[in-house]
Structure 1
Amino acid sequence: MSITVQDMRKGPEGYAWSRFGLPEYTDWMDESLSWKQTCYIGDWSFLWQHRFTGPDALQLISDYTVNNFETFEIGQSKHAIHTNKDGKVIHEGVLTKFGEEDYMVHGRGGYWLSFNLDRGNYNAKVSQEDWFMFQVSGPNAIKVLQALTDSEKLLEAKYMHAVPVTIAGHDVYALRQGMSGEVGFELQGPKEFSEEVYQAVLDAGKPHGIRKMGGRIAMINHLEASYPTIATDYIPAIFDADMADYMDFFLSSMPSFAQPAYIAGSFDGQEPSDYYRSPIELGWAKVVTTQRRGYLGADALAAEKARPHRVLRTLVWHADDVADIQNSLLREGEHYDFMEMPRDQRGYMWADRVEINGQLVGTTTSRGYSYFFRKMLSLATVDVDHAEIGTEVTVVWGAPGHRQKSVRAMVQSAPYKQDRSRGDLHQSTAP
């Protein structure tokens, strides 16, 4: 199946869909404060799970993943990234080792590995599983979980390690992670008892101010803590001719009306590859190993890691320029493209030009309003020569052919929000 940039701009019948499909529970401003002041429970159960087992399971993973596997403990999880021959991200997600020959892949990467398992000579097998994934994160998260299960296991959990716990009478895993940039765990287990676990967390969380994370602010979480996301900050590198067989394989897993990516914004790429990104550009250089060269894309990534072209930054948009865009809806004449608050909900990679003196120096994505910081923020891949903190740039707002606005912005660090996810869990239990 051939998909062009024009197809991606149109979407199915002119629109895409909400990635999370979750309602607003209290309101998005209240919910967006939860991971800084109390805690939240967020549902990521829509992610796919593939379990790879057998003597060659790790060899398969290693051949198509950029990570270093010299040390990989049972119970440990890694941010696993899969790239094409040019070092551009195909998929990424979380990989957990549950046994010496037992690995679980959460996210789209399981399809890429399954495809290559079918084509290769590996003594391994794959099964598709259906798990719930509930993130519980924020300053009060550990107190909530302590009220539910064995606190000693939780308090001793190392970052990106999953520990077995019992919640609502069910054996589940608690993966210590921090997608919000705060202390947090992701509860994982078979879908059949997800409702009991979810309700138990809510009940235990009521005294601690827990909030349900609604769909409108889920991606603000990723923006503030700088977690680039597929189809939002990059499109998967699967649209080239040499990936045609995989494209057909992958599309068979998606709804019939859908495609893997939709694009919008002022950046007017001519080919799907203009919207690909490497792990280096997305801020994941530390994950990319150069100690081995056997995996797909290894040579390209080694060269880029030694001499990166672009780096990830946060842009802070000028408040007056943002207000002018919003106010144009209240004036006569042609208005600017609508800037939804807190961010667009339709599942697009909304990519806008970043310029200095009219010259392209990067692209920006994930534009969203942070109620906590009272700022409009975005993530951006910026040329290294213009990536110094404090650099003033211009973001072009408005699709090609529409009325466009030059928005002043300033380069800041990514993540923008201070990362507290690796904090001392014992301190988090203090009254």
Structure 2
Amino acid sequence: MDGIKFTTGLSTVADSRVAFRGTPFVERTAPLNQNALWMRWDRNMVVDSYSDMVEELAAIRTRVAMGDMSPLSKYVIAGPDAEKLMDRLIPRDITKLQVGQIYYAPWCDENGHVVGDGLVFRMDETTFRVSADPGFGWWKQHAEGFDVRVTDISDSYGLLTLQGPRSREVLQAATQSAFEELPFSRLAIVTIAGRQVEVLRQGFTGEHGYELWIKADDGVAVWDAIEEAGKPYGILPAGAWALDLARLEAGLLIVGYDYTSAGPDHGGAGIQAAGKYRASPFDLGLGRLIDFRKGDFIGKAALQRISNTGEHRQLVGLDIDWAQALDGKGLENDAPGNLRRVQWYPLKALRGGKEVGHASSVAWSPSTSKMIGFGHLRREAAEIGTELTLKWNKDGVAVDVSARVVALPFLSLKRAANG
């Protein structure tokens, strides 16, 4: 372990330096990790950046990249009452979810505050899977009284994300199958390197991509096959740093950094925000995912009130004056190198000296050559073009930094396109 460095990460572990616990891909990711820089993500270590974060992000945007997202929690909800339970917990209409189809959804407490968000997909009539940040206690708690089994299979599968405009061609080469007919948010079971792999047409980067669920023992073999198939397309491994920036540029949120979970579990975040950062789906721009036409579900009455009154924050993009944050210091190749890490703590947002909300996930974006972040703002301050002041933490002192409200996402999303 000599020479290995760690970053503060998505850890629920009190002492994130206690042990090194890899993923099913660690036999391949460790030798590729030229920087010897790792990040703890929940119970596992993943590569922070393999060689050059900017190159890894560019591969996601312009070619294809493969990334290790195995630490995401993975649960199975199975049994005669599985659909009934899921329809009570999820504000989308689960009765309409087809076998092999995927929903992205939030789930809430009785007050309409978001407990977590993630992917829910149906394997058969009585079996569902959930992929999200940690929340097993919440799922188990609400399963009481239902004829179901809730099982944590997080360690049984590796999760390899394959993202970028050439991702379909790489999968075609690895599987010798055509993927033109796999629509966004659908699931296919394929064979790669003689191993069965579940392929989800999904991703967390904004690009056309896939998430591959691979049995833990098959991780190395499938990694090798994808890497080999991707060589003609310039594939690179992408670390957690590049993946984090990619999701920010795509306007995608993370529990614990962009909002505080209302559930009993810690979630994936290493920095727990205060209770005032709890949010409803409407605060997070997810109101479109609430189906009030379906039967009762947890939080329905509270969410209906919020929807009727419109009393919620607006999620917007922020274009931030990075020069004010740096005072001209910390430049690397005319870019603010010191600001390339996503800031995982909230910043007060003011308009005319009055606090109107906060900012989260602030960072320099190599893809847009701007410093960007999310604004969680009162309605009167959320119009495009509104000028704000952020209270930036500079060496322990709050300094004023200018920001302007812009539309989300920060770049054009291609992940749902079939072209």
With the length of structure 1 as denominator, give the TM-score of the two structures: 0.81
Q: Tell me which of 390, 398, 403 is aligned to 1:395.
A: 390
In structure 2, the residue matched to 1:212 is 237
Tell me the distance in 1 between the aligned counterparts of 2:228 and 2:118.
30
Amino acid at match of 1:276: R
Aligned partner (choices 276, 284, 287) of residue 286 of structure 2: 284
Q: Say which of 317, 322, 325 aligns to 2:325.
A: 322
SS of alignment partner, residue 60 of structure 2: helix
1:250-303: CA deviations, max 9, x gaps?
47xx9xxxx965247xxxxxxx32021111111111111111352111111122
Deviations 1:3-53 (A, max 9, x none): xxxxxxxx9589997436413212011111112111111111101211111
1:359 correspondence with 2:372: no
Match of 1:376 in 2: 371
CA 1:178 to 1:23, structure 2 compared with 1: closer, same or farther past 3 Å? closer
Q: Which residue of structure 1 aligns with residue 271 of structure 2?
A: 262
Q: Deviations over 1:312-370 (max 9, x none)?
A: 11101113213317469xxxxxxxxx9944115xxx84100111011111111111111
1:411 aligns with 2:399: no
Unaligned runs of 5+ in 2: 1-12, 19-38
Q: Secondary structure at the match of 2:397?
A: coil
1:303 correspondence with 2:305: yes
1:75 and 1:109 map into 2 onto residues whose CA distance is: 23
Distance 1:302 1:196 in 2: 49
* Residues 21, 215 of structure 1: 8 Å contact kept: yes
Which position in structure 2 is the counterpart of 1:331?
none
Question: Does the 8 Å contact 1:93/1:109 carry over to 2?
Answer: no
| 3-state SS of paired residue (1:216) | helix
- AA aligned to 2:193 is A
- Deviations along 1:186-241, one digit per CA (max 9) or x if unpaired, are 11132110111112111111111111111222210110001100111112113xxx
1:67-82 aligned within 5 A: 67-82=92-107
Higher strand share: 2
1:89 partner amino acid:
V
Q: CA RMSD in A?
A: 2.6
Match of 2:9 in 1: none
In the alignment, is the contact (CA less than 8 A) between 1:38 and 1:208 conserved in 2?
yes
- Aligned residues: percent identity? 26
Q: What's the offset of the Cα at 1:110?
A: 4.2
Q: CA deviation at 1:184?
A: 0.6
Aligned match for 1:312, one of 296, 304, 315: 315
| C-alpha distance in structure 2 between counterparts of 1:38 and 1:72, whole Å | 32
Contact kept? 1:56, 1:122, Cα under 8 Å: yes
State how far apart, in whole Å, the 2-side matches of 1:389 and 1:15 are: 43
Q: How many residues align?
A: 376
Contact persistence 1:68–1:287 (CA under 8 A) = no
- Using the alignment, how far apart are the partners of 1:327 and 1:260 within structure 2? 27
SS at match of 1:380: strand
SS in 2 for 1:155: coil
2:55 is paired with a residue of what secondary structure?
A: helix
Preserved CA contact (<8 Å) 2:16 2:40: no
Residue of structure 2 equivalent to 1:90 = 115
Q: 1:274 to 1:325 in 2, by over 3 A?
A: farther
Aligned to 2:188: 163
Unaligned runs of 5+ in 1: 1-10, 239-246, 265-271, 329-337
SS at match of 1:369: strand
Q: Which of 330, 340, 343 is equivalent to 1:342?
A: 340
The answer as to whether partners of 1:310 and 1:382 remain within 8 angstroms in 2 is: yes
Q: Distance in 1 between matches of 2:84 and 2:357?
A: 36
Displacement after TM superposition at 1:150 (Å): 4.1
Task: Assess, with a 3 A threshold, how the Cα gap between structure 1 residues 416 and 125 changes in structure 2: closer, same or farther.
Answer: same
- What does 1:151-190 correspond to in 2, within 5 Å? 151-152=177-178, 154-190=179-215
Alpha-carbon distance in structure 2 between the residues aligned to 1:37 and 1:26: 18
Distance 1:197 1:27 in 2: 24
CA shift for structure 1 position 142: 0.9
Per the normalisation by structure 2, the TM-score is 0.83
**CA distance in structure 1 between the partners assigned to 2:233 and 2:337 by the alignment:** 34
Which residue of 149, 174, 190 corresponds with 1:125?
A: 149
Q: Where do 1:216-255 residues align within 5 Å?
A: 216-238=241-263, 247=264, 250=265
Change (3 A) 1:13 1:26: closer
The question of whether the paired residues in 1 share the 8 Å contact of 2:346 and 2:358 is answered with: yes
Preserved CA contact (<8 Å) 1:325 1:339? no
Query: Which residues in structure 2 correspond to 1:47-66 (within 5 Å)?
Result: 47-66=72-91
**Which residue of the other structure, out of 134, 143, 151, is the alignment partner of 2:160?**
134
